[in-house]
Structure 1
């Protein structure tokens, strides 16, 4: 173990002596996010695309709902569980085609940090929003189209749940 690794381990132990926290995995995630954001900015600069002075309210609403849906699809959907499986373990169904999973204790801070990231729709939202926002600058028509599909799915999910509640109420359940 190098002195840098030893210092990182000591810092992690001092930070959370009673529970393992994957601080080095979080550092890698933050660095990767920074690289993603810098890459999007560089791509915009190189291609001559500029960010709008002020995004339209319609784009903000569209990307907000699309971010919500895509974050939940990645973090919770049954169909995307193969993407999470190397980092998580299935625990139980969570209703409406969603799953609860726990992060695998693999001994790797990086693997643990990725597991925490991809099982948390709140954590993923900043990544998804950054990607969609970058897409809005670099490929606005395609991004709006994809965001529209995600937004329509999110609205449909809400309507399906509202219908189910109304049906149960009408049947006296």
Structure 2
């Protein structure tokens, strides 16, 4: 039964993108994993008895938003996190301030390829990170806010570093 589903999805993938390889089976696996993450967080919240806020506080939304941005970029582009991506990617060059460009390796399964795409895309990772941090606000709010504060402070620091660097490189207005 499972093999039949894979074969059907492979046929759909060819019809969907006849001139380009699109790893739809891998994407379907990633979607199922994300659904599993969301279901696990939901079950954990229910079992813990912790209340889920009807409306999150605006301060929490801002904190989690900036922390999501930083953690997503760190995981997807950071030089220091390249060992996490290395089994699925190939280094292609620097991408600017402490970031790398990498390409997804084409060898292996569609799941491997999809995972490589996921972990090199800060936009794609953002959904996963935001879901984890939002779940953390329910299950472990103090720890989540603490970690998110560190990530947010780092993101603000990054922007200040880049602004400082830009000001230093700007032509002198006086002369």
The answer, yes or no, to whether TM exceeds 0.5 is yes
TM-score by length of 2: 0.95
- Aligned partners of 2:172 and 2:97: how far apart in 1? 20
Deviations 1:58-95 (A, max 9, x none): 00000000000000000000010010011110001001
Aligned twin of 1:114: 115
Contact 2:91 2:102 in 1 (8 A): yes
Distance in structure 1 (CA, Å) of the matches to 2:168 and 2:34? 44
- Report the alpha carbon displacement of residue 170 of structure 1 after superposing the two structures with TM: 5.6
Partner of 1:72: 73
Which string of whole-angstrom CA distances, capped at 9 and with x for unpartnered residues, describes residues 36-79 of structure 1? 00000100100101210110100000000000000000000001
Q: Give the C-alpha shift of residue 5 in structure 1.
A: 2.7
Q: Which residue of 1 aligns with 2:35?
A: 34
Q: Secondary structure at the match of 1:105?
A: coil
* Contact preservation (8 Å) 2:6, 2:25: no
| Number of residue-to-residue matches in the alignment | 172
Aligned runs of 1:92-171 on 2, under 5 Å? Answer: 92-169=93-170
Contact 2:136–2:144 (CA under 8 A) maintained in structure 1: yes
Residue by residue over 1:5-31, the C-alpha shift from the partner in whole angstroms, topping out at 9 and shown as x without a partner, is 322211111111111101000001000
SS of alignment partner, residue 89 of structure 1: strand
1:48 is matched with 49
**Alpha-carbon distance in structure 2 between the residues aligned to 1:48 and 1:2:** 40
In the alignment, the residues of structure 2 paired with residue 5 and residue 52 of structure 1 have an alpha-carbon distance, to the nearest angstrom, of 40
Partner SS state of residue 134, structure 1: helix
Q: Which residue of 2 aligns with 1:82?
A: 83
Gaps of 5+ in 1: none
The alignment partner of 1:137 has SS state of helix
Structure 2, unpaired ranges of 5+: none
Deviation of 1:132 (Å): 0.1
